[in-house]
Amino acid sequence: MRKGQYRFVAGFLFAPVSLYLIFVIWPYVQTFGYSLTDWKGQSQTFKFIGLDNYKALFQDDVFMQAVWHNILFLIFIPVITILLALFFAFMLNAGGRSKAGGVGGVAGSQFYKVVYFFPQVLSLAIVAVLFNAVYRSDGGGLLNGILIKLGLVDAENPVEWLNEPNLVLWMLLIAVVWHGVGFYLVLFSAAMQSIPRDIYEAALIDGAGRNQSFFRITLPLLWDTVQTAWVYLGIVAMDMFVLVSSMTQNMGAYGGGPDHHSDVMSTVMMRNFQYFGKSGYACAMGVVMLLLTLVLSVVMLRATRRDRVEF
């Protein structure tokens, strides 16, 4: 490369790299620095305390319980969302049979794509409002209303879906999956469109059914897309702040009720940062969240790595 070209490339990259360092990397560095202090958040005077905040984290029962909740979300959110999205995408793109005897989606597949994608256009705040109405702990709630009409629940004693320690996490999980399936359905559908129909038609001629077509053709050829979806959903599972703080907001600062049974790391962090004034301690939680997210992303990418299937 000529000398002038080096200067051109350096000049072209200088502005974006500088902005990235200032607005992305530097806040991470600052957060780690504050995590080593007893910073209270409202003053610029603080004392260096080393790793004391990190030691306190592992003795904090609330935070460790929140970590376990994030792990549960990390297990179930990607698995359920990807399985449902893959199933619906396959049925809408290759699960039916066209009138000409070829391969196509089920009848009305274009309409179903719009219906499934509709939740994705809603913000998480709106999703929280909708599901708060669904989970209302009286007969006016959609879920309790249906169960009362069917005679499965007593009208005088309806189920408090978001106030039951054994139910609240699953109720939040349902809301996340409902919101996310449509996006990944469209993602997988776009990937399926690139698979030549000749492959499906050849398998059809050989007598392959829907299950064989899915597991022997669709899934191997979509594996890179599934891997990407897994990482993104893992990041969603490590956050969950908006839904937890919105749907359980009447049970304590930044949600987490009942009795911390729906707390996640982000809600515990925000509660310590703004409610208890333990900003240095909250920064240590943020650093731990960052490291866990990076580690889990790398682990998921390596665990799901396989030889690429080409066509």
Predicted confidence at residue 9, as pLDDT, reads 78
- Other beta carbons within 10 angstroms of residue 167's beta carbon come to 16
| Phi (first) and psi of residue 189, to 5 degrees | -65, -45
- Which tens digits make up the pLDDT trace of 85-118? 998 888 887 766 554 545 666 677 778 888 888 8
- The CA-based angle 129-265-244, given to 5 degrees, is 10
33 lies in some domain: no
Domain containing residue 197: 54-303
Number of domains in the chain: 1
DSSP string computed for 28-82? HHHHHHHHTB---SS-S---B-TTHHHHHHTT-HHHHHHHHHHHHHHHHHHHHHH
Predicted confidence at residue 308, as pLDDT, reads 60
- Which tens digits make up the pLDDT trace of 131-161? 999 998 888 889 999 999 988 888 888 888 9
289 lies in some domain: yes
pTM for this entry: 0.86
| 27-44: average pLDDT | 88
- Other beta carbons within 10 angstroms of residue 280's beta carbon come to 24
The CATH code of the domain that includes 148 is 1.10.3720.10
261 lies in some domain: yes
* Token output for 36: 């080593």
State the Cα–Cα distance between residues 50 and 28, nearest whole angstrom.
17
32 lies in some domain: no
10 lies in some domain: no
State the Cα–Cα distance between residues 258 and 138, nearest whole angstrom.
17
11 lies in some domain: no
Predicted confidence at residue 57, as pLDDT, reads 92
- Which tens digits make up the pLDDT trace of 39-69? 887 777 788 998 999 999 999 999 999 999 9
What totals of helices (H) and strands (E) does the chain contain, helices first? 15, 2
214 lies in some domain: yes
45 lies in some domain: no
